[in-house]
Each structure stands twice: as structure tokens, then as C-alpha cells.
Amino acid sequence: MVYVLVGLAGFIGAVLRNFIGIVFSEKSTVFPISTLIVNLLGCFLLSWFTTVVFKKISFPAHFKTAIATGFVGSFTTFSTLSVETVHLLKSSDPQLGVLYVMVSLSGGLIMSRLGFIVGKEEKSL
């Protein structure tokens, strides 16, 4: 049962990630903004889910796995971040590749922290 739920949630996450990629790929041809957006949003969502949603609503463990691993795992993408970074580093503007990595890492940590902070605020309301 857990495999089916992870697969379904993964399908939804992947489709949503692809939709965001289509929307934002037209906006920027130089900087991989769509990957940055989904990865930062995924960092926020995972920490928010674990801080608020999974504590307020009694989900069975297999639903938590489906949301965290299936949905968020397929929505975000480390492999695309890596490939895009290598591409940027090999391009005529390698500083953009370094900026991309720095924004992705620091932004991911900040968004995760923000998800926990928002989650704690919601718990106290």
C-alpha cells in the first residue's frame, strides 16, 4: 500500500514540478529559476509538513511517507540542480554557477528554517 501512495504522491509532485518548469522556463533562459523555486519551496514544505500538518492531523505513517518522500521528493530535484550547476560552471559565466549553488544552499536552509518557524507559530494559535 505504501508503494502505491508514494507513487501517486510522486506523480503529483512531478507533474507540479514540470508545470512550474514550463511556466518559468519562458521567463529565464540563462538562470535555472524554475529549479531554484521548486527546491526552495520544497524545503519550506517539508519542514512545514513535519512541524504542523503531521502533528495537527493524525496521518498514518504511510501517508506521511507518501507526502514527504513521494510528493516533496519528486517535486524537488537535486540531480537537476547538479546538472544545471555544471552547465553554468562550464558556460561563459561560471560566476552564475557559483551564485546558483550559494543561493540554492543558503536559500534552502533559510526556507527550511522558515517552515519550522511558521509551523511553530501555527501550533501556538
Annotated binding site for Na(+): 73, 76
Cα(123)–Cα(8) distance, integer angstroms? 29
Q: Binding site, residues? A: 73, 76
Separation in Å, CA 54 to CA 3, 41, 45, 58, 111:
19, 18, 12, 6, 18
**Length, in residues, of the chain:** 125
